[in-house]
Amino acid sequence: MPWVDYIDQMIFSTVWPIVVLVLMLVTYNVVTRVRPSSVFADSNKWIYGAFLLIFLVFASNSTLLFRYFSCITFDAKGDDPSKIKVLMADMSINCRSDRYQDTLILAWTMVAIYPIGFPLFCFYVLYRHRRQLNPKVDVTAEHQELIRSSGNLFRVSSTRQMEIDIDQRSQDLELQRFAFLYEEYEPQCWWYAVAELAMRLYLTGILALFGSADAPATTTQTSLGLLGAMVYYVLLSAFDPFIDPMDDFLAKIAAFQIMLTFYAATMLQAQENAKDDAAGDPNSVWNNEVFSMICVIVGLSTFGVAIFLVVAGARDLRDTVGKVARYFSDTTPGRALRRLSTRGSSTDEGRKASEDADPSTNDAEAAAPRGPRASSSRLASSGGRVE
């Protein structure tokens, strides 16, 4: 099996999506000329597939590209009399070699396409269609009675406004070609997909540019990552961009997890950089089993909350109560209660059947006086005469 290093991996990962896009374009042109009435001649579907393809490979390819510029030096004999400079992601690659220098042109070209070009293009497309994405349909006259009868005017009007705006944009066929960029977000947050792309790019790629040639990680990287996570959490809390409130809640949990992760990384890096143990972490607060366990819990928190939300959303409370009621009804006390109720109903049915079988008894019981009220009625009917 031939050896595949980081340069080969970067070239393949960044080139094959472009090749697929070119093949998609050629296929679309052929289909429209041969069978223009075919379902595959719909340009919206092809554009949607192209957007989705680049969106899926955006984060991974951007990370590969930025890590290509991160090199580290070692004390050894190389081109430099005292140090050798190698790629941090693959230390078999010499950053001073001709192969690495020649690939820099391709790397910068792909940086212009993926980390820079794709977010800018997405923002251009969304900004161009911003009025269609956020139509702001006038619903005052149509729902004035509903709004007036509500105790919370702003909440009802804004919620109904959002629902109608979402219906309006979902019916626009022109927007379907890039629907995955906005369909999860509220109409007024049509731009939020670009903010998500920028955040991914910042946390996974741009931080690699703030590394050091003498150390694999720096306090600058972890502190800037913490700052970016804080800004992202504030942005998320301020706008609540998702249509589903549960998505907003889960996104905040994930953002808070990122904040805690970078905070822990900053503390660990500060401890590593402290030359004096007394000035660094003398009590080993950031270097013990409890802290390690907390890091693991924080790392799994978003996954756990996501599972809980899925389970909670899949089971309705009434269904759960019904299952519990059926469970207890199948136990021994439940069966005994059902037997007693069955016997009681059987006794009532037998008594009713016996009364129907002896009509004279029923007539006698009906003719017999029952209490003072019956006697008074008989006296009244006879005109007060006593026989």
Tell me the pLDDT tens digit for each residue of 133-189: 998 877 665 555 555 555 544 444 567 778 888 888 888 888 888 888 999 999 999
Could you please report the per-residue DSSP string of 24-37? HHHHHHHHHHH-TT
> Is the sign of the CA dihedral 169, 174, 176, 178 positive or negative?
negative
pLDDT at 186: 92
In this prediction, residues 361-366 reach a mean pLDDT of 48
State yes or no: pLDDT of 283 exceeds 60. Answer: no
Identify residue 156 by its one-letter amino acid code: V
Pairwise CA distance, residues 259 & 254, whole Å: 9
- The pLDDT of residue 208 is 79
User: What is the CA 42 to chain-centroid distance, rounded?
Assistant: 30
pLDDT confidence band for 374 (50 / 70 / 90): very low
Average pLDDT, the chain: 75
Residues 6+ apart with CB under 8 A from 74: 83, 84, 86
Max intra-chain CA distance, the chain? 143
Residue 90's CB is within 10 A of a number of other CB atoms, namely 15
Is a pLDDT exceeding 50 seen at residue 368?
no
pLDDT at 275: 58
Amino acid at 62: S
Residue-wise pLDDT tens digits, 293-334: 776 776 677 667 767 766 666 555 456 545 545 554 555 444
Burial degree of 281 (CB within 10 A; 0-12, 13-18, 19+): middle
Is residue 96's pLDDT more than 80?
A: yes
C-alpha–C-alpha distance, residues 151 and 149, integer Å: 7
Quote the CA–CA distance of 236 and 263 in Å, as a whole number.
Answer: 19
Please state, in angstroms and as integers, the Cα–Cα distance from residue 43 to each residue in 131, 180, 347, following that order: 22, 16, 76
Q: What is the mean pLDDT of residues 358-372?
A: 48
Pull the structure tokens for residue 223: 């502190």
First and final CA of the chain: distance in angstroms? 125
CB 85 within 8 A of CB 94: yes
Percent of the chain with pLDDT over 90: 28
Q: What local confidence, expressed as pLDDT, does residue 312 receive?
A: 66
pLDDT: is 27 or 270 the higher one? 27
Could you tell me if 13 and 57 are in contact, meaning their C-beta atoms sit under 8 angstroms apart? yes
Beta-carbon contacts of 89 under 8 Å, excluding residues fewer than 6 positions away, are 6, 67, 68, 70
Of 198, 304, 309, the C-alpha closest to 248 is 309
Q: What is the pLDDT of residue 354?
A: 53
Do 85 and 214 meet the contact criterion of CB atoms below 8 Å apart?
A: no
Is 80 exceeded by the pLDDT of residue 265? yes
Among residues 188, 215, 340, the alpha carbon closest in space to that of 272 is found at 215
Contacts of 57 (CB under 8 A, 6+ apart): 13, 17, 114
Span of 10-19, 328-337, 369-378 with lowest mean pLDDT = 369-378
Which whole number is the average pLDDT over 364-369? Answer: 47
Q: Measured between alpha carbons, how far is 110 from 132 in angstroms, rounded to an integer?
A: 32
Residues in the chain: 387
3-class DSSP state for residue 143? coil
Residue 91, φ and ψ in degrees, nearest 5: -75, 5
Lowest model confidence (mean pLDDT) among 108-112, 119-123, 124-128, 378-382? 378-382
Pair 126, 194: CB distance under 8 Å: yes
Is the confidence at residue 54, as pLDDT, over 80?
A: yes
pLDDT band at 74 (very low <50, low <70, confident <90, very high): confident
Residue 71's pLDDT is: 86
| Nearest of 292, 290, 288, 272 to residue 280 by alpha carbon | 272
Residue bearing the bigger pLDDT, 242 or 152 = 242
Q: Which residues of 205-228 are buried (b: 16+ CB within 10 A; e: fewer)?
A: bbbbebbeeeeebbbebbbbbbeb
Q: pTM value?
A: 0.65
